[in-house]
Amino acid sequence: MLIGLVLGSLGLGFLCWLLFTLAVYAFPFFAGMTAGFAALHSGAGIIDAFLVGILAGGATLAFGRIAFATSRTPLIRAVIGLVYAGPAAIAGYQLSFALTGIGMSTGGWQQALPVIGAILAGITAFSRLALSVPSSDGQNPAGDLAHSPIEWRPHGQKR
């Protein structure tokens, strides 16, 4: 029984880690699957449809990151980020709902915990997309310690 609890906890932790790691890829995966199925239903073979799906998903991810990085308007960045965070939030809700359905009876908590999972998955996808953007002054963000919470100095002050 103890081994079952340990392995169950490890499996649950792995699924949560996988959700948050792959959250930013939910929208490109959705776009790739849609393009692949559209190609398959239009008469392409299975291999051709698979290649179309891979190319569409990769292009969606690349163009989304490029558009997010090159846009200077916060509103456009927010819209692009929400486009990527929406499918991640839906995936987070579905996974959290399935996991709470395994371990709890029906009730309010079975609906509340998936909503929290959806919010966290959406925030994770948005923040992972935002972390792929270089700093606005062209320097390496890791090398700019002027805004580091560990070593705080007033802006513009050098060592």
Q: What local confidence, expressed as pLDDT, does residue 138 receive?
A: 52
Distance CA(79)–CA(74), nearest Å, equals 9
Classify 66 as helix, strand or coil: helix
The answer to whether residue 148 is domain-embedded is: no
**Cβ atoms of 27 and 84 closer than 8 Å:** yes
Which pair of structure tokens corresponds to residue 126? 């948005």
What is the domain extent for residue 40? Answer: 18-131
The answer to whether residue 86 is domain-embedded is: yes
The answer to whether residue 147 is domain-embedded is: no
The answer to whether residue 49 is domain-embedded is: yes
Distance of CA 76 to the CA centre of its chain: 18
Q: CB neighbours of 48 closer than 8 A, spacing ≥ 6?
A: 39
Full-model pTM: 0.68
pLDDT digits (tens, 9 = 90+) for 126-155: 888 888 666 655 555 544 444 444 444 555
pLDDT digits (tens, 9 = 90+) for 19-74: 777 777 888 999 999 999 999 999 989 999 999 999 999 999 899 888 888 888 88
